[in-house]
């Protein structure tokens, strides 16, 4: 019986406590991972806990519904894709359960990055280093992850102590790495009720099911006994093999190491819910050496010679990888000469500093002096030097992702494994095979473990290139098997390599199928991986792509010469040719929304929660796929690759819901290796929705925030009094959606532009090169004019004259953020007319509000096809950046008075988004007596109008919680930030008065001593 979405909705109602997504949009979001493939699932479920998972798996068992377990979706083989029910364990299974002296127990959704961060202060680590640290514990286990250091550290299989697993029938078992006794089964079978009952965690007799485990154990034991000879003789003689199931070393007398079998099984035998890993001490000392070579062969020979020194890592990077990495970050590769055809990065870990140094020196002596092979050698004998060399290795994968559309290195034959001594035989033959087809590739080799990551340059927009992929895989895999290698050594079998498992292991494949039948007789656990193809889809279900715009050559029709030549272009394959997106409402110079979305490769780096990056504050508090930047790009790409009706869905309310999970902080565009402009895509999506459906009442009010601020300023005393009244705030929330709990800034009756006119600042002066044009924006005009007065005073103190255009408006971010592009465009056009002449004359435009600087330098270019927009953007500078430039030139004045203040300074996201040097902390530290603590613990979470909405209030505070917690500590007394929205959040979240850095400077220069009174009153109540 086929389960429909409607049936699933009805059946799960009342007993499944997790999240269930049954709409087309969610299906699209989970249809891809970091691979090249795309399969739309029926639905997505995120169970709350083990009971929930047990119940839904039992339901799937009864209804023959395929279940596909998913973690972070960072795999490149398509392991987490399927057409059934996706079970996302990354959302709720995120607890670190316990830590022992040499072990750690975690739930399946905890990321490796978080595990390592937790263990590091204890001086320990989990010795696994896969390509992505954002993979989950369940994903690490499912793929038997390893990495560059596998030859020294081993694979996940070597570090798993125990697993709590959910079997195919929903029963739960704890299996240890210690072999379990085989108990031959009785004739009894498991009984099931008419409908699934959610298990009770306290009812261990229901939840723990020794019967199913015993049945599996006995059957597996018999299988291993029967085929012991075949198993011992049939595996490839390579250090690391991930093809099929790993059946060696499982049977020890009458005991079976069941946990070892589950590692690397990709969720096809059971679903891990908790894992206990072995941890090891972090070695105290390291050293590294980078060698350069004129040829790949010389690099390989040298790497093989280094085996006797037992390095923890020996990675070979070819010239193409170095070239790509150099394009992305040339400063990181300044130590690599352009003539190097390949480099080796060699690492040693030791418990004594002298041992680490000696290992590096011995390696250099061996390669340079005795072998005379390298053209250079760069030793790194301390941590700063090691970090510099390691950055080269870190840039490799991002460099592959940064190429965007067109021909780029593709991961579909990238997981080859050989005995190290066969590398010199295989690699020239493989590269020659590519050359004969006029294909180039990047090469990364873990030399001592014989693992080759080969990525051919192909264009997924080209039907001809797509059709070449399958025959190319056939050619390369035939070469691999002729060298007694394996098609999969590290990254899993998944969709990518399942079609070749039987080819590699014809004698083992029937055993694999028997094994699968033991664990999963109904075939519901991640079908189509390892032992059988999924009949509901193509062998390689490639991602869909939009038809090319005139910027890129159009895909108009299939080439009949290649039709049917590969499973990628069968008769049923749909190559979209008719779909065209709605007319974009933003400008996309040399691009389009579709092309921008395609640049995302799905690597999943945007799922990071590291404190050292600002990447996606929304995902940090809402760890769901739809909150990730990659999901938003994926949604755009998929919809614009389909029918015109699907393309029209961009304007739908469901897509708007996903778009509203972007707060336009612009940090993903800055930190993404491919630099995909997700914020712009989401503004496009909101604008499409607004054009079709208009704005909600709340969004309409927020889009016109400046108009309401102007009115409130006229009646400031009354408005400020009313905003303190809880019943009034309740009414405002009900009418306009602005949270009654949000502490709002007071309004001033005399706004800054009025004051500027009275002071003569708005009278057009005789302009000279030292005349600055000051752009005020809303907050400094209507809420705290002392920011603007301080800005003018400090600039004048440095010998500049300041002109304040009298007819300026707010920058336009309020309407733009809500998708009201036409209003934002009118604002932008007004300001271009006002500022363009000054900009053309070479005058600098100063913004004290970082968001205004972002609009003038970036977003106006997306709103107006006007050369004046580029002129204004070129001349616009954020205030503290301008002062920092004066400091760098030795022109910044330091005639400060002593200020005994302790402040914590938060750097706003929009200051970072300007991609200019961060100046405020250095400026403030010049003030005598001032102690400055840098707050770089992430986004404030306010995000302009986002944090004002009642529906976003709690989430907004949660996003800012790490920074607010630091600010609220006892080490500082006041806050500092350039951003007015961040200031609101900081004052509410900490209760500490927060000022703009220029206000502190004006106070220290004794230009505005009245600001000292501001520091004497703490913000409290509903208005600050």
Q: Let me know if residue 157 belongs to a domain.
A: no
pLDDT tens string 496-515: 999 999 999 999 999 999 99
d(CA 985, CA 528): 49
Q: b or e along 315-326 (b: 16 or more beta carbons within 10 Å of the residue's beta carbon)?
A: bbbbbbbbebbb
pLDDT of residue 200: 36
- Residue 331 or 245, more confident: 245
Q: Could you tell me the CATH number of the domain that includes residue 750? A: 1.20.1050
* Domain presence at residue 748: yes
Strands 160-166 vs 172-176: parallel, antiparallel or unpaired: antiparallel
Of the three residues 832, 852, 886, the one that is the final residue of a domain is 886
Pairwise CA distance, residues 924 & 647, whole Å:
50
Considering the domain architecture, whether residues 794 and 912 belong to the same structural domain is answered as no
Read off the pLDDT of residues 232-288 as tens digits, 9 standing for 90 and up. Answer: 999 999 999 999 999 998 988 888 899 999 999 999 999 999 999 999 999 999 999
Could you tell me if 811 and 950 lie in one domain? no
Q: Please say if the pLDDT value at position 99 is more than 50.
A: yes
The 10s digit of each residue's pLDDT in 519-575 is 999 999 999 999 987 666 678 999 988 765 433 232 223 333 333 344 554 333 333
Asked if 169 contacts 212 with a C-beta cutoff of 8 angstroms, the reply is yes
- Where is 966: in which H helix or E strand? helix 953-967
**Beta strand pairing status for 43-46 and 85-88?**
parallel
Q: Assess whether 648 and 754 both reside in one domain.
A: no
Pull the structure tokens for residue 594: 């579709």
Question: What gap in Å lies between CA 991 and CA 1007, rounded to an integer?
Answer: 26
Q: How far apart are CA 222 and CA 555, in angstroms?
A: 55
pLDDT tens per residue across span 595-631:
889 889 899 999 999 888 899 999 999 999 999 999 9
708 pLDDT tier (thresholds 50, 70, 90): very high
Structure token digits, residue 466: 């797509």
Structural domain includes residue 347:
yes
899 and 882 within one domain: no
732-755: average pLDDT: 96
Q: Per-residue confidence at 635, pLDDT binned at 50, 70, 90? A: very high
Question: Is 792 contained in some domain?
Answer: yes
The answer to whether residue 129 is domain-embedded is no
Q: pLDDT tens digit string along 786-798?
A: 999 999 999 999 9
Residue 333 pLDDT greater than 80, yes or no: no
Binning pLDDT at 50, 70 and 90, where does residue 401 land? low
Are 738 and 760 in a shared domain? yes
φ and ψ at residue 902, rounded to 5 degrees:
-120, 115
Residue 100 covered by a domain: no
Compute how many other C-beta atoms are within 10 angstroms of the C-beta atom of residue 204. 11
**Tokens in use for 51?**
């009971």
Residue 1019, in any domain of the structure: no
Instruction: Please check whether residue 406 is in contact with residue 552, taking contact to mean a CB–CB distance below 8 angstroms.
Output: yes
| Residues 881, 919 share a domain | no
Has residue 918 got a pLDDT over 50? yes
Determine which helix (DSSP H) or strand (DSSP E) holds 555, and give its type and residue range. none
DSSP 857-901: IIIHHHH---HHHHHHHHHEEEHHHHHHHHHHTT-----PPP---
Expressed in percent and rounded to 5, the helix, strand and coil fractions of the chain are: 45, 15, 40
Same-domain status, 690 and 709: no
Q: Are 271 and 139 in contact (CB under 8 A)?
A: no
Q: Which DSSP state fits 856?
A: I
For residue 192, pLDDT beyond 50: no
Distance of CA 45 to the CA centre of its chain: 21
Q: Judge whether 77 and 491 are in contact, CB under 8 Å.
A: yes
Same domain, 675 and 732: no
797 and 678 inside one domain = no
Parallel, antiparallel or unpaired: strands 67-70 and 103-107: unpaired
pLDDT tens-digit map of 14-32: 899 999 999 999 999 999 9
Q: What would the mean pLDDT of 914-926 be, rounded to a whole number? A: 97
Helices and strands per DSSP (H, E), number in the chain: 46, 30
Q: Total structural domains in the chain? A: 4
CATH number at residue 458: 3.40.462.10
Domain end: 671, 694, 717, which one?
Answer: 694
Over the stretch 999-1018, which tens digit does the pLDDT of each residue have? 999 999 999 999 999 999 89
Q: Provide the sign of the torsion angle of the four alpha carbons 114, 120, 126, 128, taken in this order.
A: positive
The pLDDT of residue 512: 97
Q: 810-822, pLDDT tens digit by residue?
A: 999 999 999 999 9
Asked if residue 679 lies in contact with residue 854, where contact means CB atoms within 8 angstroms, the answer is no
* Beta carbons of 333 and 327 less than 8 angstroms apart: no
**Mean pLDDT score, 210-220:** 88
Same domain, 681 and 714: no
The total of other beta-carbon atoms located within 10 Å of residue 249's CB is 12
CATH code where residue 639 lies: 1.10.1060
**Residues sharing a CB contact under 8 Å with residue 288, sequence separation 6 or more, in sequence order:** 345, 346, 347, 348, 360, 379, 380, 385, 386, 389, 390
Give CA separation, 472 vs 76, 243, 389, 467, in Å.
Answer: 18, 19, 34, 9
For the chain, give the number of residues: 1024
- CB-hemisphere CA count at 13 Å for 201? 6
More confident residue, 27 or 396: 27
Residue 464 has pLDDT above 60, yes or no: yes
CATH number at residue 1007: 3.40.50
- Give the pLDDT score at 696: 95
Q: Which two tokens stand for residue 255?
A: 């005991």
On the question of pLDDT at 190 being above 70, the answer is no
What's the pLDDT at 1?
53
Query: What pLDDT was estimated at residue 184?
Result: 55
**942-964 tens-digit pLDDT:** 999 999 999 999 999 999 999 99
pLDDT value of position 700 = 96
pLDDT at 566 (0 to 100): 46
Q: Could you tell me which residue, 938 or 98, shows the higher pLDDT?
A: 98
- The dihedrals phi and psi of 66, each to the nearest 5 degrees, come to -60, 140
Supply the mean pLDDT for the chain. Answer: 90
Backbone angles phi, psi at 957, to 5 degrees: -65, -35
Query: What is the pLDDT at residue 62?
Result: 96
Do residues 1003 and 899 lie in contact, with contact meaning Cβ atoms separated by under 8 Å? Answer: yes
Instruction: Identify whether residues 805 and 822 lie together within a single domain.
Output: yes
Do 768 and 882 fall into the same domain?
yes
- Among 663, 694, 725, residue at a domain's last position: 694
In a domain, 147, yes or no: no
Task: Give the range of the structural domain holding residue 478, as residue numbers without chain letter.
Answer: 287-516
Q: What is the pLDDT of residue 330?
A: 58
């Amino acid at each position: 019986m086929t389960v429909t979405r409607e049936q699933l909705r009805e059946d799960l109602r009342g007993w499944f406590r997790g999240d269930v997504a049954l709409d087309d949009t969610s299906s699209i979001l989970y249809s891809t991972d970091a691979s090249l493939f795309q399969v739309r699932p029926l639905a997505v479920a995120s169970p709350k806990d083990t009971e929930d998972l047990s119940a839904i798996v039992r339901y799937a068992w009864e209804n023959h519904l395929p279940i596909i377990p998913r973690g972070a979706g960072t795999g490149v083989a398509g392991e987490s894709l399927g057409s059934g029910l996706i079970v996302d364990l990354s959302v709720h299974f995120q607890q670190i359960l316990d830590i022992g002296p040499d072990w750690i127990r975690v739930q399946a959704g905890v990321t490796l990055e978080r595990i390592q961060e937790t263990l590091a202060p204890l001086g320990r680590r989990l010795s696994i280093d896969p390509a992505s640290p954002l993979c989950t514990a369940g994903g690490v286990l499912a793929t038997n992850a390893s990495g560059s250091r596998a030859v020294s550290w081993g694979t996940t299989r070597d570090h798993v102590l125990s697993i709590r697993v959910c079997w195919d029938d929903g029963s739960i078992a704890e299996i240890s790495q210690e072999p379990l006794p085989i108990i031959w089964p009785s004739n009894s079978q498991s009984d099931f009720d008419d409908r699934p009952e959610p298990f009770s965690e306290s009812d261990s007799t229901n939840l723990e099911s020794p019967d199913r485990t015993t049945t599996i154990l006995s059957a597996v034991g018999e299988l291993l006994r029967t085929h012991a000879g075949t198993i011992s003789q049939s595996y490839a003689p390579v250090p690391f093999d991930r093809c099929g199931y790993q059946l060696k070393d499982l049977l020890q007398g009458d005991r079976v190491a069941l946990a070892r079998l589950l590692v690397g099984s990709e969720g096809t035998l059971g679903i891990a819910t908790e894992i206990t890993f072995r941890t090891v001490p972090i070695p105290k000392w390291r050293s590294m050496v980078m060698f350069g070579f004129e040829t790949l062969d010389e690099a390989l020979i040298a790497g093989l010679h280094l085996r006797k020194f037992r390095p923890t890592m020996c990675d070979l990077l070819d010239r193409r990888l170095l070239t790509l990495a150099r394009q992305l970050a040339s400063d990181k590769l300044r130590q690599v000469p352009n003539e190097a055809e390949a480099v080796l990065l060699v690492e040693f870990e030791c418990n004594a500093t002298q041992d680490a140094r000696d290992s590096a020196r011995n390696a250099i002596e061996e390669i340079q002096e005795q072998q005379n092979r390298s053209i250079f050698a760069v030793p790194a004998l301390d941590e700063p030097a090691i970090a510099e060399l390691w950055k080269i290795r870190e840039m490799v994968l991002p460099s592959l992702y940064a190429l965007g559309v067109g021909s780029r290195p593709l991961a579909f034959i990238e997981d080859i494994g050989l005995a190290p001594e066969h590398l010199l035989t295989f690699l020239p033959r493989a590269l020659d095979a590519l050359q004969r087809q006029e294909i180039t590739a990047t090469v990364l080799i873990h030399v001592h473990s014989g693992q080759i990551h080969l990525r051919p340059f192909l264009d997924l927009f080209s039907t001809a290139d797509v059709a070449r992929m399958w025959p190319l895989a056939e050619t390369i895999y035939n070469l691999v098997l002729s060298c007694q290698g394996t098609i999969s050594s590290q990254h899993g079998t998944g969709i990518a390599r399942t079609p070749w498992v039987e080819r590699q292991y014809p004698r083992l494949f029937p055993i694999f199928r028997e094994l699968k039948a033991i664990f999963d007789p109904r075939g519901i656990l991640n079908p189509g991986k390892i032992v059988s193809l999924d009949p509901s889809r193509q062998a390689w279900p490639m991602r869909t792509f939009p038809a090319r715009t005139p910027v890129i050559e159009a895909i108009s029709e299939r080439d009949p010469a290649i039709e049917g030549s590969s499973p990628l272009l069968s008769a049923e394959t749909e190559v979209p040719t008719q779909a065209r997106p709605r007319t974009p409402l933003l400008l996309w110079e040399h691009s389009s929304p579709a092309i921008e979305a395609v640049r995302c490769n799905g690597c999943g780096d945007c799922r990071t929660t590291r404190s050292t990056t600002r990447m996606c504050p929304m995902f940090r508090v809402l760890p769901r796929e739809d909150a990730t930047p990659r999901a938003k790009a994926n949604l755009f790409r998929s919809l614009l690759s389909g029918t015109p009706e699907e393309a029209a869905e961009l304007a739908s309310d469901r897509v708007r819901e996903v778009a509203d999970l972007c707060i336009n902080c612009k940090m993903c565009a800055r930190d993404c290796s491919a630099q995909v402009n997700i914020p712009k895509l989401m503004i496009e999506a909101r604008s499409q929705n607004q054009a079709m459906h208009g704005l909600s009442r709340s969004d309409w009010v927020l889009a016109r925030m400046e108009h309401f601020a102007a009115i409130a300023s006229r009646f400031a005393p009354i408005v400020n009094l009313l905003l303190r009244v809880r019943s009034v705030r309740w009414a405002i929330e009900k009418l306009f959606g602005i949270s009654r709990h949000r502490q709002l800034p007071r309004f001033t009756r005399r706004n800054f532009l009025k004051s500027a006119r009275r002071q003569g600042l708005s009278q057009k002066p005789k302009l000279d090169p030292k005349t600055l044009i000051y752009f005020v924006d809303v907050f400094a005009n209507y809420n705290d004019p002392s920011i603007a007065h301080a800005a003018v005073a400090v600039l004048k103190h440095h010998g500049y004259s300041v002109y304040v255009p009298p007819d300026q408006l707010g920058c336009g971010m309020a309407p733009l953020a809500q998708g009201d592009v036409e209003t934002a465009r009118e604002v932008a056009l007004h300001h271009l007319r006002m500022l363009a002449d000054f900009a053309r004359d070479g005058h600098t435009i100063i913004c004290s509000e970082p968001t205004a600087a972002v609009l003038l330098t970036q977003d106006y270019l997306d709103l107006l096809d006007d050369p004046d927009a580029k002129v204004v953007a070129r001349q616009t500078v954020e205030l503290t950046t301008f002062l920092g430039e004066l400091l760098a030139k030795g022109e910044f004045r330091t005639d400060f008075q002593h200020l005994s203040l302790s402040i914590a300074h938060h750097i706003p996201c929009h200051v970072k988004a300007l991609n200019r040097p961060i100046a405020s902390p250095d400026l403030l530290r010049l003030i005598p007596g001032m102690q400055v603590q840098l707050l770089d613990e992430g986004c404030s979470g306010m995000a302009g109008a986002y944090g004002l909405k009642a529906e976003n209030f709690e989430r907004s505070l949660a996003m800012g919680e790490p920074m607010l917690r630091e600010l609220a500590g006892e080490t500082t007394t006041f806050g500092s930030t350039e951003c007015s929205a961040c200031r609101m959040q900081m004052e509410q979240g900490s209760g500490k008065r927060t000022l703009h850095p220029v206000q502190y400077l004006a106070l220290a220069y004794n230009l505005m001593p009245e600001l000292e009174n501001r520091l004497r009153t703490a913000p409290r109540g509903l208005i600050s």
